[in-house]
A = this chain, B = another copy of it.
């Protein structure tokens, strides 16, 4: 195997000069650079990525810490991060931290040990001082960690307002909100948007916690509809939650959207596959991942970034679980 020493010998320069050329650091005369490039070509020398990592303290790797890749919100996000990373010559280390602070700490350690160039954190449990001390460029995705850590989120509150308004305008008189986990900022913001609209519109409302799990949502909805049989609209805090509600309603022999209308949140692909297909607030999931990756790579490469808070728009996608205009037939 050709080594950096062979290249130096062939080019009649020092090893340090070859190293400077490879890493584009420090002064090298034009003549020496040309000799090195010619030697690299002739000897078919491929600089060892690991040796360069050690020299540059850069591995051209990005860590992506998600709660759980099997939650259907995250594969598209991970795909976007990986696509952008690939374009810029970075690879992605995938970490599932299960919203477990011990796992997150362990990953932060492991990723630093491997000299990842930066980390994208989604929805983590770590305090901002811990994140800060890591001393690695970071971007927060789908949550805010601290003012000085660049952040990519979507308009959760505005999206929830759109969802609730759509239910009101489609004729709902008694709307339930199946909220996400308490303390999770995205879930709290969606609740806030829901409250804003029901209070302004003077429709009856009820809020219950259904977290983001399908089975839990099915149980909670069944219980809720027994207690309040006149509920005619449901705004669910995620599409998976909405799927659970749809299942419960169908089992109770009620019809969607004739008896009860439903709006979800997320815009994951399977919402379209449901029968009836799910009206939802779509987050620009791919764009969120891509924006976070581009932002992180700019930070890593010490390029200027335009602002540190990126709030991407959500959209109302009207399908078959509501009676509003534009519903697909």
Contact = CB atoms under 8 A, between A and B. Distances in A.
A92 interface: yes
- Count identical subunits in the complex: 2
Contact of A91 (B50, B78, B110, B115): B110
B46 A113 contact: yes
Contacts of A76: 70
A250 interface: yes
Contact of A50 (B59, B240, B250, B275): B59
A275 B275 contact: yes
B91 A93 contact: yes
Interface in A145-162: none
A188 interface: no
A214 B114 contact: no
Contact of A92 (B50, B53, B82, B94): B94
Contact of A246 (B94, B114, B270, B275): B275
Contacts of A79: 68-70, 96
A53 B274 CA distance: 48
Nearest to A60: B114
A110 to B, nearest CB: 6
A273 interface: yes
A45 B115 CA distance: 17
Interface string A171-206: 000000000000000000000000000000000000
Range, interface on chain A: 35 or more
- Find the residue from A46, A69, A246 having the highest chain B CB count within 10 A: A69
A114 B91 contact: yes
B83 A75 contact: no
A269 B114 contact: no
A25 B82 CA distance: 36
Interface in A62-99: 64, 68-70, 72, 74-76, 78-79, 82-83, 91-96
Nearest to A242: B273
Contacts of A269: 70, 214
Given A48-B54, A64-B94, 11 more contacts: A46-B113, A50-B113, A61-B93, A69-B82, A70-B79, A82-B96, A91-B110, A91-B111, A247-B277, A274-B274, A274-B275
- Please list the 9 inter-chain residue pairs (A to B) with the smallest Cβ-Cβ separation, ordered nearest first: A49-B113, A243-B273, A94-B94, A70-B75, A69-B75, A270-B270, A250-B275, A75-B75, A70-B79
22 contacts: A48-B54, A49-B113, A49-B114, A49-B115, A50-B50, A50-B59, A50-B114, A68-B79, A69-B69, A69-B75, A69-B79, A70-B269, A72-B72, A72-B75, A72-B270, A75-B75, A78-B94, A83-B96, A91-B111, A94-B94, A243-B270, A247-B277
